[in-house]
């Protein structure tokens, strides 16, 4: 049961929204979404969480995974991500909206607030425990008219379509074919899309024969159940360095076992960043230019044992070809230690082609450095679309869709 030690729920909610608007790096804002988040009581959808936790800007787990090494099965999304994804969705009063990933029911309540009395909201989840939870909280808070269905979100809910808006609150590796027929042409789809080891909230506009993005923002979500096109494996004998890639990529981890024990090649650029400045756009540019782009993670023990530190040990972009690998790295500039630090961006390569791969990463660092806020355009086409009908860019084929990433 929620408990509080001072401020009212309304005060805590307003403080949270104020902080989101002040600190949000997405650059997105919609007064209607702001009003919805100031109105709908998040703590009422998290009755077992302390009220201060309900109004902290963080995700809250509502169903743990029995596998202690795995991610939770369901959680309430971080509020600032909820905010900018709803802005991306641009819900209008009277819209018919479909949500994949019911969670706590909170997001469905926000959607209902945005659609108004004349609109319709349907939320679904494959997990019956999750939909039962969402049904209880929605009913308890006056949202009995929100539909809650238990099914695989990839199937959609054709009986309530066509939809003006669709939103996924789980990480998707593919865009299911059923969605194309259920989302009206001219409608919008917002989805945390995963490719080449990264995840972005992509806002698509549905056009004839394709969906084209107009907003691509950083996010992280639990992956949807049932899409298993991502691969991962350790590339060292001590199981400290792990690689993540897509099934359409030619990555053989066993070829890299010896690479990290060989001499390294470090290449620096003239590009620097501040201590809180995101350089994640480098990864996006790599995914639009280099088919070999994937993700590397390194445990602290790997760095302590002599591995050159990845820019972000928990997740950094890498290029892999055969028995060679390179990845993004950084190093503090030799400036006065009393001033705010800045960091050089560069790349480190291992293996016979490591130096070449590092140079290719640096080329994209420089391209990003000259246009740091530029976003790629992600265009999705049905899987049977011929090459001649695709936009220019890097093509990534999935079972249901062909993605083109371009700048």
**Cβ atoms 42, 79 nearer than 8 A:** yes
In this structure, the number of other CB atoms found within 10 A of the CB of residue 158 comes to 11
φ/ψ (deg, to 5) at 59: -75, 155
Q: Please, are residues 28 and 84 in contact by the beta-carbon 8 Å criterion?
A: yes
Q: What secondary structure letter does DSSP report for 154?
A: G
The active-site residue, picked from 26, 74, 77, 324, is 77
Residue 388 annotated in active site: no
* Per-residue CA distances from 23 to 18, 27, 28, 177, 218 (Å): 9, 10, 11, 37, 14
The CA distance from 152 to 145, in Å, is 21
**Rounded CA gap, 21 and 182, in Å?**
33
**CB-based contact 101:170 (threshold 8 Å):** yes
CA distances from 239 to 135, 263, 318 (A): 43, 20, 18
Nearest to 198 by CA among 60, 293, 277: 293
In residues, how long is the chain?
Answer: 407
Mind telling me the catalytic residues? Answer: 77
């Amino acid at each position: 049961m929620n408990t509080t030690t001072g401020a009212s729920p309304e005060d805590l909610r307003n403080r949270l929204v104020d902080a989101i608007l002040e600190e949000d790096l997405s650059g997105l804002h919609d007064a209607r979404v702001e009003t919805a988040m100031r109105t709908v009581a998040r703590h009422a959808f998290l009755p077992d969480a302390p009220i201060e936790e309900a109004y902290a800007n963080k995700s809250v787990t509502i169903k743990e995974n029995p596998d202690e090494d795995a991610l939770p099965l369901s959680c309430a999304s971080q509020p600032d991500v909820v905010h900018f994804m709803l802005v991306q969705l641009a819900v209008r009063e009277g819209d018919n909206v479909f949500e994949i990933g019911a969670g706590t029911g909170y997001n469905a309540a926000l959607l209902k607030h945005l659609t108004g009395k004349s609109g319709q909201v349907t939320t679904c989840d494959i997990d019956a425990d999750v939909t039962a939870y969402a049904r209880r909280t929605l009913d308890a808070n006056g949202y009995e008219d929100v539909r809650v269905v238990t099914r695989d979100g990839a199937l959609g809910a054709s009986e309530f379509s066509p939809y003006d808006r669709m939103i996924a609150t789980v990480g998707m590796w593919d865009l299911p074919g059923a969605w194309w027929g259920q989302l009206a042409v001219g409608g919008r789809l917002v989805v945390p899309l995963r490719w080449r080891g990264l995840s972005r909230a992509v806002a698509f506009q549905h056009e004839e024969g394709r969906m084209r993005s107009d907003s691509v923002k950083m996010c992280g979500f639990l992956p949807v159940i049932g899409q298993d096109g991502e691969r991962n494996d350790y590339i060292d004998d001590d199981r400290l360095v792990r690689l993540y890639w897509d099934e359409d990529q030619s990555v053989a981890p066993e070829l890299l076992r010896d690479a990290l024990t060989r001499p390294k090649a470090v290449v620096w650029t003239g590009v620097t960043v501040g201590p809180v400045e995101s350089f994640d756009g480098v990864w996006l540019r790599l995914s639009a230019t280099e088919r070999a782009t994937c993700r590397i993670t390194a445990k602290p023990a790997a760095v302590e044992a002599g591995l050159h530190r990845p820019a972000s040990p928990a997740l950094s972009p890498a290029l892999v070809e055969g028995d060679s690998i390179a990845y993004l790295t950084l190093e503090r500039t030799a400036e006065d230690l009393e001033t705010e630090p800045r960091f050089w961006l560069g790349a480190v390569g291992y293996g016979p082609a490591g130096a070449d791969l590092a140079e290719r990463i640096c080329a994209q660092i420089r391209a990003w450095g000259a246009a740091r806020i530029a976003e790629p355009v992600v265009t999705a086409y049905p899987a049977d679309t011929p090459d001649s009908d695709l936009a220019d860019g890097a093509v990534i084929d999935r079972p249901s869709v062909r993605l083109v990433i371009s700048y």
